[in-house]
Structure formats: structure tokens, C-alpha cells
Amino acid sequence: MRWLQLCAVAIVVLGLSVIPSSAEYSARLTVLGVQPNNPTSGVYEYIEMFWDQKAEPENLHVQWNAPGLKFATRPGVYGGVKLEPGAQESLAAAVRYAVQRTPQVRHSGTVTMIGTTYLPARQDGPSAGAALAVALIAVFKGHVVRGDVCLTETLEPDGRIGKVGAIPQKMQAAWAAGCHLILVPRYQILDNNWDLNHEALRIGIKVQEVETIDEAYTLMVTRRT
């Protein structure tokens, strides 16, 4: 089995770039967060992934492309999301876990990721780790990530799902992104700070707890027909 070289997570500046959405080994993931300058408001972004499946480099290379440029045709829409050090560590852990969970796959070539958002944003925390792991496993298996299910959870080394904060704000962002179901960590629907069942009814979205990546994968991914 070929192990991922973690130093392969590179920051590359691009112009406007398009990932071929029809490619078999690609995925589009909705990631939830809060606005950096307004923690009471949720925000969502899309991460496009594409795996070229080439024989080189022999050890899988993961490339994050963050242009940081506005789309000229749509003021206020940004073409890149900056990946901060904390999020780089979370991404590296997600790739490592996805490689371990797909031992039948030859992990070579390059996985390219591009983050896009409608507000100036950056990935600076671990709350996307579980969602990234799900999407990467789907890419390696050639499965499809559903666009109507969102996940906000951290990734534990054994595949369990860890707690996150600001879930009510992220639920608002999930609804705005067109998700009908948001997956949250086990035992976080009821909290000292919120009742997510009440929040889900108010917003008009479903909420469900999950405990492992396997549970989340079953709800977020479908096989190609």
C-alpha cells in the first residue's frame, strides 16, 4: 500500500479554473462555517475535487488551489478560499484516513481541490475534516457525493466523529446552500446552548446525528448507476 506524503499538500495560485464535473473520479462538497468577521452568521463554500489517477507521482499528491480572485462577472463572488494551517492539518488527516479506508485503490497521481465561496472566506479550523474524508473516499471509489446533505463534524483518527461549535449558524448556511439534511455529531442535537430540533423546524431543514464516518458516508454518498 502506498502511503500519502503529507508534505504534498501544496498551495498553488491559479486563475479561474474549472474542474470537469462529469469526470468519474470527482466530487463537489458543501462545507459549512461561520463568517470570520461575524460569528453569529453562517457561511458555506463549495470544494471541487478531481483525481487524475495518473501513475505519477507514485505517492499521492494533494493540491489546494486558492486563487483569491473575484469573479469579474459576478461582484461579491470569490474564486478562491485560503487554506489556513489548522485546516491544512485537518485536510492531511482526512486524506490519510481516506487512503487507509481504500486499500484496494492505487493511490497515485494528483488530487486537485478548489474552494469557492460567495464571501471572502478561509478554511481555518478542523470542522470540515469528516466531510473531506467522506468526499475523498467517494472520489477514490468513483462514487457520488450528494448535494442535498451537509456534514459539520471533526474527524477522529479511528473514524469516529468529533464535536463542533456554532451548529445553529451552520444550519442556516446549509439551508442557504440548498441542503435538505444536515448531519451533526452524536449527542449534539441537545446542548446547553441550543436545541437543534427546534432550530431545524424553524429553518425548514432536517437534522440527524451520526457517530462515525461510515454512518455519514451511507447518508452522503450514492453509487453511480
Per-residue pLDDT, 205: 97
The DSSP annotation for the chain comes to -PPP-GGG-EEE--SS----TTSTTEEEEEEEEEETTEEEEEEEEEEEEEE---S-SSS-EEEEE----B-TTSTT-BS--EE-HHHHHHHHHHHHHHHHT-TTS---SEEEEEEEESSS-EE-SSTTHHHHHHHHHHHHHT-EE-SSEEE--EE-TTSBEE--S-HHHHHHHHHHTT-SEEEEETT-SEETTEEHHHHHHHHT-EEEEE-BHHHHHHHHEE---
pTM: 0.84
The pLDDT assigned to 121 comes to: 54
Residue 71 lies in a domain: yes
In a domain, 150, yes or no: yes
**Structural domain boundaries enclosing 94:** 6-14+25-222
In a domain, 120, yes or no: yes
Report if residue 19 sits inside a domain: no
Is 1 contained in some domain?
no
In a domain, 105, yes or no: yes
144 neighbors 222 (Cβ within 8 angstroms): yes
Please report whether residue 20 resides in a domain. no
Residues of the chain short of pLDDT 50, as ranges, are 1-22, 66-77
Instruction: Output the domain CATH number for residue 87.
Output: 3.30.230.10
Q: How many domains does the chain have?
A: 1
pLDDT of residue 22: 45
Q: What is the pLDDT of residue 95?
A: 94
- Phi and psi based region of residue 186 (left: phi greater than 0; alpha: psi -120 to 50; beta: remaining): beta
